Amino acid sequence: MKYVLLFVDNDETRQRSEAEIGAVSEKIGAWWMEHSQAGHILGGEQLQGADAATTVRHDHGAVSIVDGPFIEAKEQIGGYGLIDVENLDAAIEMAKSWPWGGVVEIRPIVETNMGPVG
């Protein structure tokens, strides 16, 4: 089954020192490599901060464009991983081993036969 892991930063994880970030970044690289080599990671990326977001809002036929995230929140999505694992239990095990801490939200993919985009 395919899932997206949403890696959510909170105030605590955003306030790490450069040394902490460096140490955890190495662990993240190893985590990513391990699961990629096992064939479980299909893709993913780290996201720029919420201050770089642009939101396009549709409201009863009107469209507005706003700089910034959809909502103001203490937790923000810092990145994502697209994974293909046997079941939800396997996705949970991957999420439990995520070295950054914070929150990992697991969402199943709605698989369609639309074909590749682009």
Count the alpha carbons within 13 Å of 115 in the hemisphere toward its beta carbon: 1
Tell me if the pTM is above 0.85.
no
Query: pLDDT digit string (tens) for 58-104?
Result: 999 999 998 876 666 667 888 999 999 999 999 999 999 999 888 99
40 with 94: CB under 8 angstroms?
A: yes
Q: What are the structure tokens assigned to 30, written together? A: 């190893």
Ordered domains of the chain (ranges, CATH): 2-108 (3.30.70.1060)
- Name the 3-class secondary structure at 59: strand
Query: pLDDT digit string (tens) for 17-54?
Result: 888 888 889 999 999 999 999 999 999 999 988 888 88
- For residue 78, the 8-state DSSP code is E
The region that residue 39 occupies, defined by phi over 0 for left and psi between -120 and 50 for alpha, beta otherwise, is left
